[in-house]
Structure 1
């Protein structure tokens, strides 16, 4: 087969992917980059305003509050999700009876719709007749119902729900990493008299280094971009306490679906979207740089 014929066949195979990337990736990106400099509400005339959207963004306290909430949400989710996922993976990688069923059960939340999960947990954490308050009252852990969606506990509640939905996914990735570690290393350590704890810290953790680096990066990106469960459970409330960056962006672009009283703001929303993407990109790049530095040190 000639090179020209092979090039034609390869081009035809790649064509659907290229078209979809251009239509669903490149074109929307260019569209957003254009409207960052316009005052546009989704209908009517487009008014070029230059950098006014970015000047407004710098003074927008609601946006910067959402950035702070995002870091709190992402940090809490990461601190709970990564250790829990690793512990579950280690347990389910052992010779445990019914471990196949347990793996499926823990992975199940990953394939369930986030909206469905959020509605279920909204009912479970309901202040008046929710299952959590009922159990705590029954066993006299609390004397009065806790307002889980209130100002003091709302962020903790949405973090716990996010952790429940994410643990199974990262557990599976950790399992793949654990199963790639040669058993010879553990057998040699046993001959040398190492106990289970010593094997974990001296063999398992170092050998999981590359996998853990990838998992943490994926978890950081997902945590910074997560907003679906918050939108269903609290809508960013109370008083903006749980409003994260992408939820604030969603309210600007689709105010009707969130019940927001704010008019649709395509132009300003495009500027906010660009800023959120830059923030996520900086955090991800910083983690990647630091992880590479740590690899060279250790």
Structure 2
């Protein structure tokens, strides 16, 4: 849309100015080689500093990703050269009942893990944000499991949920007349116990994300709601929770990815048992690749995991990634 000043100019003058702009654009339309040289002269220092990171990305990210996809069509046991077998490994996956069970166990673990982690992180953030005394101390306590070695936490968790009378949880349950539970030795309980361990470990970092989101919400919205007589629940449900939507989206993405990559707790506490009830897709991938030396089939499992996470992330982006506005 032209400005009022330009509209006042005579028609011939406007046409002349337009031709001048066209001629100027033609002069600046340099050959590709000269444009590349100009860009290099302007941003040479930036390209120099980015080169090491780019080389690292190509060697340790792009190349392994591409080579592992090629490996899915090969038969390679580390010893000897890879042999092309076409779609054999993919067909093997379709008929592998244990692989499908590992995927189902991973989905169950995600259900036990994602919502409790997000809920607990939000509750802790609300407590810290409420102005409680010694908020910094509480933040440190809640965040302590995040920075503590997972091996140490897993050892403590295994002691707490030991399936004998000497286990702390069973000892406490005995006061309420509950018989000792097997926990990690019970196929119906082991996966939930592992999910509880992950929730305990990660909830502190989730709290930090939500706390940052709470700090970014304008205080004027809360003041206006209180003047209108809104209750605390309505303020939370109508203002706080909706405006935390970007945080919900981010936390949902990282917790979903983390849940589908669960390995360490299974490796340390259950070894995939009992009766394969805690065998997750990553643990099964590890067994195929490093225990069974079937790297080609392990590559297939890694791509199946990649596609599952990609689809779930796209679904979450569609329903949670929309921009949030407030008035």
TM-score of the alignment, normalized to the shorter chain, above 0.5: yes
Cα distance in 2 for residues equivalent to 1:3 and 1:44: 47
Give the TM-score normalised by structure 2. 0.83
| Equivalent residue, structure 2, for 1:151 | 187
| Equivalent residue, structure 1, for 2:21 | none
Are 2:125 and 2:207, in contact at CA under 8 Å, matched by a contact in 1? Answer: yes
Give the TM-score normalised by structure 1. 0.91
| Equivalent residue, structure 2, for 1:169 | 205
Cα distance in 2 for residues equivalent to 1:177 and 1:183: 13
| Equivalent residue, structure 1, for 2:99 | 63
Select 1:127's aligned residue among 155, 163, 170.
163
Cα distance in 2 for residues equivalent to 1:158 and 1:179: 32
Cα distance in 1 for residues equivalent to 2:162 and 2:241: 40
Higher RCO structure, 1 or 2 (CA under 8 Å, sep 6+): 1
Q: Runs of 5+ in structure 1 lacking a partner?
A: 256-262
| Equivalent residue, structure 1, for 2:279 | 243
Q: Runs of 5+ in structure 2 lacking a partner?
A: 1-37
**Residues 1-298 of structure 1 correspond to what in structure 2 (within 5 A)?**
3-128=39-164, 129-137=166-174, 139-143=175-179, 145-149=180-184, 150-255=186-291, 263-292=292-321
Cα distance in 1 for residues equivalent to 2:283 and 2:222: 47
Are 2:246 and 2:323, in contact at CA under 8 Å, matched by a contact in 1? Answer: no
Which has more radius of gyration?
2
Cα distance in 2 for residues equivalent to 1:236 and 1:194: 50
| 100-109 vs 5-14, which moves further | 5-14
Aligned pairs, number: 286
Cα distance in 1 for residues equivalent to 2:258 and 2:101: 19
SS at match of 1:95: coil
Cα distance in 1 for residues equivalent to 2:85 and 2:152: 41
1:290/1:198 Cα in 2 relative to 1: closer, same or farther (>3 Å)?
Answer: closer
Cα distance in 1 for residues equivalent to 2:97 and 2:137: 48
SS at match of 1:7: helix
SS at match of 2:183: coil
